[in-house]
Amino acid sequence: MTKSANQPYWVKTDDWHTAGEPFRIVQELPPHCESTNAIASTSLTVAQRRQEIIDTPSHPIDLLRQVLCKEPRGHADMYGGFIVPSNDPDAHFGVLFFHKDGFSTACGHGTIALGCWAITKGLVEAPRNGEVDMIIDVPSGRVTAKVAMKDGKIDCVHFINVPSYQVAANISVKLPDMREVTVDLGWGGATYAFVDAAQLGLDVEPQRHDDFVALGRQIKAKLGDAARHKDLDLYGVCFYQHLDETAEALTQRNCVVFADGQVDRSPCGSGTAARVAVLLAQGRLANGKKLIHKSIIDTTFEAVVGIDSPSPTSYPGCVPRVTGLAHLMGEHRFWIDEADPTYPGFLFR
């Protein structure tokens, strides 16, 4: 595909944020993307659609991802999702999660945003009071956005994730400056490494975000194939700080560095699910105890173990339930012209 292959076109997006992390939703793809096998085929699952795009150089959907994530229309920490057909009629729709570096397998903050978006768009009829389920197929499996309504308004969304579990514990990682840290690995639709920030003498606070980006990249590189799970590379590194603990709740603040140096402004939905699984394995979330998970900007998700689930590892499995809320920021119409000298976008970081 050359830069002049398509006529200029409009793309409409609905832009939301969940706990501060952006989620740009594209409900209708342009015709040259709709005609690709990754979308047009009725036999592909969402996971297969993702893989086809990844395996195809200059795939038009990948180019559109770059246009919407990179400057001048986005930024280095942009996130979003393309709405695609579900795997079967039992789900409302599917979604391909995207960011500046590619297509992720899971996204909890995006699932929460999609629940709010679907109700706002009238995709399902919501009760004035009560809950309604949005069933969504994502690359890691089938998830649910359980939207809680109160007096006709969205009160919160419960993200019901795929089965999650600890993958490994107490892995020693030697950093380039010769410091050593201990890492736990957890699966929540993607694999995360969990590092107690106290090992590094750091508090989780916004002014240290560059430090966490550098450290996240170092830890990811050092772990390498040791962190591969389900034939996928390590997705994110979660630096956590212990804040408080009572009989009812454990409170931690985190900074999640995902993909190539992106900082999650939210507490990270799939990362929170993986954190729940690790804490369950450690015996710290028994008897309905909840995790109050704060982000680097102090926004909050609350999470519980949910129900037990089989695990492919020696650690217990569960289906975590992560609660948050998304907010609409705006609707955009982007004019995409492949003759633009900045196409498909640029990044400074």
Kind and range of the H or E run holding 301: strand 300-309
Let me know if residue 108 belongs to a domain: no
Predicted local distance difference test score (pLDDT) of residue 349 = 77
Is 79 part of a structural domain of the chain?
no
Q: Tens digit of pLDDT for each residue in 302-315?
A: 999 999 999 999 99
246 assigned to some structural domain: yes
Tokens of 184: 């736990």
Helix extents (H) in 43-107: 46-55, 60-69
Q: Is residue 224 part of a domain?
A: yes
Strands 130-138 and 93-99: parallel
Q: Report the candidate in 111, 38, 83, 78 with the shortest Cα–Cα distance to residue 259.
A: 78
d(CA 297, CA 224): 29
Amino acid symbol at 170: N
Whether 255 is covered by a domain: the verdict is: yes
Q: For the chain, what is the mean pLDDT?
A: 96
The catalytic position among 107, 116, 255, 318 is 107
| CATH number of the CATH domain containing 199 | 3.10.310.10
Domain annotation covers residue 55 = no
Q: What is the mean pLDDT of residues 89-105?
A: 98
**Does 1 score more than 80 pLDDT?**
no
Q: Is 348 exposed, middle or buried (0-12, 13-18, 19+ CB in 10 A)?
A: exposed
Distance CA 235, CA 225 (A): 12
* Domain membership flag for residue 71: no
Q: Is residue 274 part of a domain?
A: yes
Evaluate if residue 208 carries a pLDDT over 90.
yes
Q: Catalytic: 116? A: no
Total domains, the chain: 1
Q: Is the pLDDT of residue 2 over 60?
A: no
Determine the structural domain holding residue 190 and report its residue range.
164-324
Across residues 205-221, what is the average pLDDT? Answer: 97
Of 96, 108, 169, the C-alpha closest to 143 is 108
Q: What amino acid is encoded at 147 in this protein?
A: V
% of the chain surpassing 70 pLDDT: 99
User: What local confidence, expressed as pLDDT, does residue 3 receive?
Assistant: 42
